[in-house]
Structure 1
Amino acid sequence: MTPARETVDERPIPATSGHAGLSHTGMSRRSMVIAALSTIVEWYDFTLYLYFATVLARVFFGGTASSLLITLGGFAVAYLLRPLGALVFGHIGDRFGRRPMMLLSMALMSLAMLATALLPSYKAVGPIAGGLLLLLRCVMGFSVGGEYTGVVAYLLEGAPARRRGLVTSCASAASEVGGLLAVAVSASTVHLLDAADLESWGWRIPFLAGAALAGTVWIARAGMQESPDFERQAATGAMPTRPLRHALAHHRTGILRSFAISALGSITYYVGITYVPAFLTSAGSLSEGMSLWLSTGAALVVIAVTPIIGALSDQWGRKPVLLALALCGVLMPIPLFQLMASGSAGLAMVGAALLAAVAGGVSAVGAVATAEQFPGEGRLTGLALGATGATALFGGLTPFVAQALVARTEWPPVPGAMIALVALAVLPVLARAPETRPR
């Protein structure tokens, strides 16, 4: 005899129902701005590792033929800890509040960034340098696991119902500002220093800057309000005492849909944007400095596109916008990677910009669409199981796989084929999913 449990409709609950408290507008503007801008920090450091991958390969792994692949492999391994971090921090956020969860994750991130900046190099201590770098990347992956989903949920729960897409997309836009800052600092450091100074001490500058930025955000977060939706749960005693069990029992369909949406967003972002500098350097025959400057331009495209797509999803709905972007993901990446491999800086810029527009659009609408798959109760744990799980597989692993496949097949468009295959697989899920925009 199976135990009785509450009958739960697993369909996404629109804000107008009041179930998830999504119609609240009592959040202070200051708290919303701090939450949105704080994603700059997490993406600054996490993408800094990819943008600086060729330099770190020489500094920490001796610059051998396999050092870049090992460096990208470290990024992939760190990403595998994101779901674990998301579950741990999600439990804290669902059980004790969004604010304490975001303070704790940012504190851990600040310490990991500072420790990275102080690491010894391969020349100083040998292979142990690479091991220490990878260990700190795992700490970073763990802390970032709870960061992005926490911020997205916080913005969603504090936004006016008719502007949820636009407001929540600010997390994606701000994270790309962090990526832009990372690539700009990386490019400036590479251009201003000669190779000897760069590998001796210059590589530390971007990580020290990130540690200072993270500490500043932690101080600002200390004055944030709690999410109005969590306050509703606390007032009514609705917080799940066991968030993981609650999510698995009541939100299975939402977990699967958020996994599919996040898979598309992750592979378009991490292969179509953050892997591009390494691709342009290795397969596109461009210099490190030129590749980083091209990526800076791509980041500007994402920042411009993100709020537009977020607002369009408020006007037209999440589903049609996601379907259109998934079709772009099927048709565009292969020819665009071929374009970037041509060796021409101009053509590479066109390819990188178009890929960035698609990736930025998916990230914008994907942020609100994944969070809307769940009511307030258990939302962070549901996102950890669905969205963050997909990001670990289709985000952190894919730059490593893309680089390995390019080297093995000697076919430059193979990263584009990876994006196209995932987009094709996600299309049927999106086509069957209900609309989650508030009516």
Structure 2
Amino acid sequence: MTPVDALPPSQLPMSRRSMAIAAFSTVVEWYDFTLYLFLATVLSRVFYGGGEGSLVATLAGFAVAYLMRPLGAVVFGHFGDRFGRRPMMLISVGMMTAAMLATALLPPQSAIGPAAGWSLLALRCIMGFAVGGEYTGVVAYLMEGAPPRRRGLVASLASAASEVGALLAVAVSALTVHALSQADMDAWGWRIPFLFGSALALGVWLARSTMQESPDFERQRALDTIPRQPLRYALAHHRTGILRGFAISALGSITYYVGITYVPAYLTSVGRMGEALALWMATVAAVVVIAITPLVGALSDRVGRRPVLVGLALMSAILPATLFSVMANGSQLQALLGAVALAAVAAGVSAVGAVSTAEQFPGEGRLTGLALGATTATAFFGGLTPYVAQIVIERTGWAMTPGIMIAIVGLCVLPLLISMPETAPAKCPLREPYAGRG
């Protein structure tokens, strides 16, 4: 047996503690971003007056802030590719902690007028910038530290943990809405979920400070192959990977943000149910997602990334339009079943998408490649789509709109997924990392 001390840095085992911290620290990122959507109707009253168009203004703020994700991803990706995954993740979660705490302390529109809405938007932009480096950094860290034939399962834990964050967000929101009157909720109750989130983020920062550096980055450092200019390097060597990462993430983003996090606001806006019941329904869907995500990640290790992604793209093209129609017009039980089915599809795409996007790149320039591909797609197909869906529904009354949007993306990315080479190590030879400098 080869002694650990004799192994090259890329083969040194990552401690289970570091892997667990990385996997479950995505809780805080998704807690905050889904919290904003789950409390969208409340925030529209507190910061935008609650009149006509206030919900659209709130969702527009979410969309604008989300456009900061690619910028943040490129900046943090450059930092992570040059100086390491660990310091990058410490800085990003530190910014998130400060932004969430500041949001919890914001004065409402009744106190400072329109400045309240602008202040909320500014803090969302800071959050979006910080989150740009979060998820891709964690996924890359997990993939680089996982046993090759268990990458799908291990990387999917980041997706599962993010769903724990979403579950926490919807549960805390539902409990707060249920426990308080609307007057108390609008006056001060909305601050409670954000204060909880800032404490959660601080805990994640403390845990991450004890993590090891990624073994793949240590390999780059030992071999002196760290790119000097990661952005130029990624554009020169990773163009195909960037395109594939964009396609995978586009499908994952629209199924997640329209098929899961937008659903409570959708059900409320079409008059199907009140805020509290819609949030409890989203809680059930989040539990289903947490259960399904690691199963799909393990399945992709067994049968490959490509067949799983192709199957999920087909389901995305066929199911959502009908499911949104059922949720809008059926019974409450049918609405619940529709929400659970949408969540299951989104969970599957997130699970296999996490590892398959990271596997499009060698270690050198990986974070920058993910920033240009996956994170850019998330900004457009995650941040903008709930806003667009709400606008179209308000103007046309067509309840199937969100499902049609998902179906269009599913059909558009399907040809690229079918032609994509397999990246699961169990199904193909492992690629050797590029050893040049850029």
Q: Distance in 2 between matches of 1:254 and 1:392?
A: 18
Match for 2:259: what amino acid?
G
Q: Do 2:9 and 2:222's aligned partners in 1 also have CA atoms closer than 8 Å?
A: no
Root mean square deviation, CA, Å:
1.0
What secondary structure is seen at the aligned counterpart in 2 of 1:341? helix
Q: Distance in 1 between matches of 2:56 and 2:12?
A: 47
Aligned twin of 2:211: 224
1:188-267 equivalences in 2 (<5 Å)? 188-267=175-254
Provide, for residues 341-394 of structure 1, a one-character-per-residue CA deviation record: whole Å limited to 9, x for no partner: 025211110000000000000000000000000000000000000000000010
Aligned twin of 2:424: 437
Match for 1:181: what amino acid?
L
Between 311-320 and 282-291, the greater mean CA deviation after superposition: 282-291
Aligned twin of 1:180: 167
Between 336-345 and 298-307, the greater mean CA deviation after superposition: 336-345
Label 1:408 to 1:25 Cα distance change in 2 as closer, same or farther (>3 A).
farther
Aligned twin of 2:117: 130
Q: Do 1:25 and 1:159's aligned partners in 2 also have CA atoms closer than 8 Å?
A: no
What secondary structure is seen at the aligned counterpart in 1 of 2:227? coil
272, 279, 282: which one pairs with 2:266? 279
Aligned twin of 2:61: 74
Aligned twin of 1:10: none
Q: Do 2:304 and 2:422's aligned partners in 1 also have CA atoms closer than 8 Å?
A: yes
320, 324, 340: which one pairs with 1:333? 320
Q: How big is the shift at 1:252? A: 0.2
- Asked if 1:31 is matched to 2:18, the reply is yes
Aligned twin of 1:43: 30
What secondary structure is seen at the aligned counterpart in 2 of 1:76? helix
Q: How big is the shift at 1:25? A: 5.4
Q: How big is the shift at 1:22? A: 11
What secondary structure is seen at the aligned counterpart in 1 of 2:133? helix
Aligned twin of 2:374: 387
What secondary structure is seen at the aligned counterpart in 1 of 2:132? helix
Q: Distance in 2 between matches of 1:343 and 1:256?
A: 39
Match for 1:253: what amino acid?
T
Normalised by the size of structure 2, how large is the TM-score? Answer: 0.95
- Asked if 1:411 is matched to 2:398, the reply is yes
Aligned twin of 2:341: 354
Label 1:24 to 1:342 Cα distance change in 2 as closer, same or farther (>3 A).
farther
278, 293, 312: which one pairs with 2:299? 312
Provide, for residues 249-280 of structure 1, a one-character-per-residue CA deviation record: whole Å limited to 9, x for no partner: 00000000000000000000000000000000
Match for 1:135: what amino acid?
A
Aligned twin of 1:139: 126
Q: Distance in 2 between matches of 1:309 and 1:432?
A: 21
Label 1:321 to 1:284 Cα distance change in 2 as closer, same or farther (>3 A).
farther
146, 152, 161: which one pairs with 1:159? 146
Q: Do 1:165 and 1:368's aligned partners in 2 also have CA atoms closer than 8 Å?
A: yes
Q: Do 2:289 and 2:343's aligned partners in 1 also have CA atoms closer than 8 Å?
A: yes
Provide, for residues 111-151 of structure 1, a one-character-per-residue CA deviation record: whole Å limited to 9, x for no partner: 00000000000111111101000000000000000000000
Aligned twin of 2:415: 428
Q: Distance in 2 between matches of 1:280 and 1:343?
A: 11
82, 89, 112: which one pairs with 1:95? 82
Provide, for residues 281-303 of structure 1, a one-character-per-residue CA deviation record: whole Å limited to 9, x for no partner: 01152100000000001101110
What secondary structure is seen at the aligned counterpart in 2 of 1:302? helix
Q: Do 1:24 and 1:159's aligned partners in 2 also have CA atoms closer than 8 Å?
A: no
Match for 1:348: what amino acid?
A
- Asked if 1:85 is matched to 2:63, the reply is no
Q: Distance in 1 between matches of 2:72 and 2:81?
A: 14
Q: Distance in 2 between matches of 1:92 and 1:160?
A: 25
Aligned twin of 1:3: none
323, 342, 348: which one pairs with 2:310? 323
Q: Distance in 1 between matches of 2:172 and 2:281?
A: 13
Q: How big is the shift at 1:322? A: 0.3
Identity score, percent: 70
Match for 1:378: what amino acid?
G
Q: How big is the shift at 1:24? A: 3.1
Match for 1:237: what amino acid?
D
Q: Do 2:10 and 2:216's aligned partners in 1 also have CA atoms closer than 8 Å?
A: no
Provide, for residues 221-268 of structure 1, a one-character-per-residue CA deviation record: whole Å limited to 9, x for no partner: 100000000000011111000000000000000000000000000000
Q: Distance in 1 between matches of 2:149 and 2:418?
A: 23
Q: Do 2:321 and 2:407's aligned partners in 1 also have CA atoms closer than 8 Å?
A: yes
Q: Do 1:280 and 1:341's aligned partners in 2 also have CA atoms closer than 8 Å?
A: yes
Q: Distance in 1 between matches of 2:274 and 2:334?
A: 15
289, 294, 302: which one pairs with 2:276? 289
